[in-house]
Amino acid sequence: MPPLPPRPGADPQSAESKSKKQFGSGTKSMSGDDFRQDVAGLERYMAQMLRHPVFGRDRHIAEFLEHRNAPIRAKIKKGFFAGMKESLETRKTSGVRDADDFFQKEREWAVAYGAHIKDACDRFNGVIFAQMRLANQVGNFRFSLLIFDFFEFRKQEVLCFCFRQTLGARKSYRTKTNKSQKQPT
């Protein structure tokens, strides 16, 4: 039996939080590097299973691969703290007014301040990630220039070598022809 591929290092929630931390909380994109590696590992495993003399003919594997409807996904349960956070979030935005106007104004200020802080963090992260992407592109451009320069240098070196060989061949040809012309026959 082929060995199982390694388990993914992160569950969907931690992958989502990692992506939000990396790309900002307003993004809906997920980082795909780990996902591609996991998919490639599963594809290798399935190919090995299909090549296996016993498991390759198993009807359960054939049914799994040919079945059109996707299996039912398990609902991911939220932890205690996530539930508490959600409860507090709904409570902050609820329409219940505080009995004291001072505290009501403070609550409204805190909610608005929290939204501004989150917006500022998202914009700051956006700038940082744009700078990181730019630095990465500059690095790629630098590497491309280095490769181009290396090959151009090699071309010049090869041309110089060929030129030297040609000059050397011409000199030896001249000396041979000059020697043959100077020698009396």
pLDDT at 168 over 70: no
Question: Percentage of residues in the chain with pLDDT exceeding 90?
Answer: 9
* 1-47 confidence digits (pLDDT tens): 778 887 776 666 776 777 777 766 666 665 555 667 788 888 888 88
Q: Which amino acid would we find at residue 177?
A: T
Would you state the pLDDT for residue 119? 92
* 77-108 confidence digits (pLDDT tens): 677 777 777 777 776 656 667 778 888 888 88
pLDDT at 184 over 60: no
* 184 vs 154, residue with greater confidence: 154
* 36-65 confidence digits (pLDDT tens): 778 888 888 888 888 888 888 888 888 878
Which pLDDT band, with edges at 50, 70 and 90, does 113 fall under? very high
Would you state the pLDDT for residue 120? 94
Would you state the pLDDT for residue 28? 62
**pTM score, whole prediction:** 0.35
Question: Percentage of residues in the chain with pLDDT exceeding 70?
Answer: 62
Would you state the pLDDT for residue 30? 59
Would you state the pLDDT for residue 27? 65
User: Structural domain boundaries of the chain?
Assistant: 1-18+30-70
Would you state the pLDDT for residue 171? 60
Q: Which amino acid would we find at residue 105?
A: K
